[in-house]
Amino acid sequence: MLQGRTILCACMMKTMNKEKITELVGRRAAARLGGGLKRIDAQHSKGKLTARERLALLLDEGSFEEFDMFVQHRCTNFGMENTKFDGDGVVTGMGTVEGRLVYVFAQDFTVTGGSMSETMAQKICKVMDMALRNGAPFIGLNDSGGARIQEGICSLAGFGEIFERNILASGVIPQISGIFGPCAGGAVYSPALTDFTLMVRNTSYMFLTGPGVVKTVTGETVTQEDLGGAGVHASKSGVAHFAASDEREGIQTIKALLGFLPSNNREKAPFVETSDPAGRVDDALNEIIPESPNKAYDMYQVIGSIVDDGKFLEVHRDWAKNIIVGFAHMNGRSVGIVSNQPKILAGVLDINASRKAARFVRFCDAFNIPLVTLVDVPGFLCGTQQEYGGIISHGAKLLYAYGEATVPKVTVTLRKSYGGAHITMSCKQLRGDINYAWPSANIAVMGAEGAVEILYSKEIKSIEDPAERARVAEEKKKEYNDLFCNPYNAASYGYIDDVIEPRNTRFRVIRALEQLADKKQENPWKKHDNLPL
């Protein structure tokens, strides 16, 4: 009799366990559908992927470990207690990209428009804390209508908790934001606090206030795309570092970017094997500088020539084009490239170029990525618009960034390097480690024409005969050029370590980087600096 009861109890337990497992499997399946098939179809009809589809593209197959799948919101206002979904509008967890650990969140627009709730923020904060604790990159895929209005201050507090973690993680682990849909109001500040922001053309946008509010307050009529689309932020505001044509391209860009970065600020970036010889020379570089000092050439050709396999991941490609920044490998080592672009505004430094390069230099310094600087800069852009806009303070940001950087710094001056811009572009006095120059380099306070105008203006103007006046002016320019507009004057003082043949630039830079691979340099202790913001 007792044995019969035991068998019966065992059968009941098996049945109960099976029911519980069936319930678990069912809840997991429902959670993975987010807001349901109808809303998923609506997402696809807009040319957008779902949160889980994005994570599947980003992470190595089978590597995703999800956390907090069964979290639900706690709001009881405005009938919200009747609308609950497991996961509450965001998918969070960990996984690997090319075998390297990352922590992620992906907002799910199919659940209440991906709006931020208190519990949603808690889920995001949990993985941010784990990323910081374990020294791994953090990637956020944003697709949200903003704060969940029904939750009031609790939603805003959630944003604040996320922002604080963005701040504490800055410079410790890489933080990357992908904008794959709307990102409005307070939500925009988390991406702004991260290291890199990527947007998708035509389907993503960022703004503090939407077109309706803008119309009411200012009377302006503007579309979402013109107000805060990817094109606007990639080319006009500089808010977006990358603009992708579609989500798949965007996710591939994030993965490519990660390949250049260390997991945290205590590590070096991963080494990448290359078959490109370190000693490769390029005779075309000997001919690339035009005879006329006022004629442009394309700095992309120089960059492509000296980096491994010609591969260069540009950052801020469409903004402040007069300066180029981005990542490459040199003999397998990750490097940050900063270069003036003579084809745009003669490569002059202006407000936006200074901001763009300063942020990039500081990122590379924070994450142990050596800096290679290619210089052809005639000076800072003049005019009332620049002065009123604070070119002095903005230019000081770039100067400050180079001056505080302790990573290996290799500088090559190709042609012009004048005045304050010469100092700013990683000169010897800003602790440039190895400073090379091409024979075509002109390193001086200013160009010959301007110098002669200042030094000999009265003398030349006093000559009555026009032909003689022109002859003397040309003579004085030649005298100034011979004295200063060459690399040898700077080299005679040790401000240039060597004048190199252009064709050998790749080899010389790589050898310098290898020499500096174990460089150790520290700045004076301070609570924090006071960068000229």
What confidence tens digit (pLDDT) does each residue in 387-398 have? 999 999 999 999
Predicted confidence (pLDDT) at residue 70 exceeds the cutoff of 60: yes
Q: Which residues are within 8 A (CB) of 520 and not within 5 positions of it... i.e. 6 or more apart?
A: none
CA 428 – CA 417 distance, rounded (Å): 13
Instruction: Indicate whether 253 pLDDT > 90.
Output: yes
Q: Could you give the percent of the chain with pLDDT greater than 70?
A: 95
pLDDT at position 378 over 70? yes
Mode of pairing for the β-strands spanning 90-97 and 100-107: antiparallel
* Burial class of residue 405 (count of CB atoms within 10 Å of its CB; 0-12, 13-18, 19+): buried
Say how far apart CA 376 and CA 338 lie, in whole Å: 11
Greatest Cα-to-Cα distance within the chain, rounded to the nearest angstrom: 131
Highest mean pLDDT among 68-72, 325-329, 416-420, 519-523: 325-329
- Report the alpha-carbon distance of residue 438 to residue 513 in Å, rounded: 18
Is pLDDT above 70 for 6? no
Question: Distance (Å, rounded) from C-alpha 416 to C-alpha 346?
Answer: 10
pLDDT in tens, 312-340: 999 999 999 999 999 999 999 999 999 99
Q: Is there a contact between 157 and 117 (Cβ–Cβ < 8 Å)?
A: no
At 459, list the tokens. Answer: 């003398």
| Positions marked active-site | 185-186, 420-421
- pLDDT (mean) for 82-111: 90
Q: Is residue 292 scored above 70 in pLDDT?
A: yes
Grouping H, G, I as helix, E, B as strand and the rest as coil, residue 23 is: helix
Estimate to the nearest angstrom the gap between the alpha carbon of 165 and the chain centroid.
19
Question: Strand ranges (DSSP E) for 188-270?
Answer: 196-200, 205-207, 242-244
Task: For 182-221, write each residue's pLDDT tens digit.
Answer: 998 888 999 999 999 999 999 999 998 889 888 899 999 9
How many residues are recorded in the chain? 533
Q: pLDDT value at position 210?
A: 87
pLDDT at 513 over 60: yes
Q: What's the average model confidence in pLDDT over 252-260?
A: 98
This prediction has a pTM of 0.92
Tell me, what's the pLDDT at 74? 72
Other C-beta atoms lying within 10 Å of the C-beta of residue 486: 18
Q: What is the mean pLDDT of residues 513-517?
A: 97
- Round the average pLDDT of the chain to a whole number and report it: 91
Phi and psi, residue 204, nearest 5°: -125, 150
Taking only the tens place, the pLDDT of each residue in 45-66 is 999 999 999 999 999 999 999 9
Look up residue 331 and give its two tokens: 């003999």
Q: What is the pLDDT of residues 405-427, one digit of tens each?
A: 999 999 999 999 999 999 999 99
Among 14-23, 206-215, 302-311, name the one with the lowest average pLDDT.
14-23
Look at residue 8 and tell me whether its pLDDT is greater than 60.
Answer: no
- Calculate the CA dihedral of residues 173, 177, 183, 185 and round it to 10 degrees: 30
Q: How far apart are CA 364 and CA 336, in angstroms?
A: 6
pLDDT confidence of residue 12: 61
Percent of the chain with pLDDT over 90: 71
For residues 473-497, give the mean pLDDT: 86
